[in-house]
A and B are shown apart, each in its own frame.
Chain A
Amino acid sequence: MNIGQTVWISLASVFIVWLVVTQLCSDRLPTLKSIAFGFLDSWLGRALLLAGWAEMGWHLFCQHP
């Protein structure tokens, strides 16, 4: 395993652990869903998320093997 893969696995592990922690303490900590809902409160935030989603799809499924 090279350094890049090690860093990615470490980041993914921290991300998942923090996701679980915030979910378990959702009354005191911001969850990923609550942050997304903060954006989805208005047209502008929703448009920003959808633009990011569209760019991600185009990049992953049309530009890279």
Chain B
Amino acid sequence: MRRYVYRGIFGVVGLVFAWWEGLHPWPSDPAHVSILTAIIVMFVLAILVGRRHQRMSSRAWLSRTWASIRRPTQRPPLYLFGTVVWVMLVLAVAGWDFRSFLLELHSLPTLSYLIGRVSRFATGRSILVAAWLALGAFFVAGNRVHLAPKGGRTSSPPRDAADREQLP
């Protein structure tokens, strides 16, 4: 129950921040300070809520990633195909964006230019900031492990006392 209260509080604060941010255009000092503050707050939150809640150490994660790259055929062929498509999509977007950036032609807008066409308006800027904050919150709190009562680890959050009482 408590985590839903926290989510609600952070959600409301985020929406108010996004609305306020929409009132300030990009060259203004308040826009710079507030975005920088949001970035610092997210990193601090990541440390606070992520301490002792990571699924594996960074060393183990690096080893797993390296093993996946060295022996990709350990995965099912369809899964491998899906991964290749994702990589190609990311490379296509990055490559086209980089090409447009280098050529600097009106007919070849970069992705940030297109997004800037939306964020130059107060409402568009507010919506984009809200989406950006939501993505940051997902990176902060997503995929954490929760300690089970006996010290083990579980992938789902622990139930609070009220929920536990309703279980058979």
A-to-B contact residues, CB < 8 Å: 2-5, 7-8, 11, 14-15, 18, 22, 28-30, 32, 35-37, 40-47, 49-50, 53-54, 56-65
Interface size grouping (class) on chain B:
35 or more
B132 touches A40 (CB 8 A): no
What is the count of residue pairs linking A and B with beta-carbon distances less than 8 angstroms?
A: 136
CB <8 Å contact, B85 and A18:
yes
Contact of A49 among B26, B60, B79, B139 (CB under 8 A): B139
Q: What are 8 pairs between A and B in contact, CB < 8 Å?
A: A3-B108, A36-B138, A41-B54, A42-B55, A46-B46, A57-B132, A64-B26, A64-B119
Contact status B61-A42, CB under 8 Å: yes
Question: Are B58 and A43 neighbours in the complex by a CB distance under 8 Å?
Answer: yes
Shortest Cβ distance from residue A40 to the other chain B in the assembled complex, whole angstroms: 4
Q: Which residue of A lies closest to B136 (CB)?
A: A53
Chain A contacts for B50, CB-based, 8 A? 43, 46
- How far, in whole Å, are A35 and B82 apart by their CA atoms in the complex? 11
In the assembled complex, which residues on chain A have CB atoms less than 8 Å from the CB atom of B82? 22, 28-30
Residues of A within 8 A of B129 (CB): 61
| Chain B contact residues, CB within 8 Å of chain A | 21, 25-27, 31-32, 35-36, 38-39, 42-43, 46, 50, 54-58, 60-62, 76, 78-79, 81-83, 85-86, 89, 92-93, 96, 100, 105-109, 111-116, 119-120, 125, 128-129, 132, 135-136, 138-140, 142-144
Given contacts A36-B138, A40-B139, contact A62 B35 (CB under 8 A): yes
Q: Output the least CB separation between B55 and chain A (Å).
A: 4
Q: A4-B108, A42-B61, A61-B129 are in contact. Are A30 and B39 (CB under 8 A)?
A: no
Q: With a CB–CB cut-off of 8 A, which chain A residues contact B119?
A: 60-61, 64-65
**Among all A-B residue pairs, the 4 with the closest Cβ atoms:** A42-B61, A44-B58, A40-B143, A29-B82
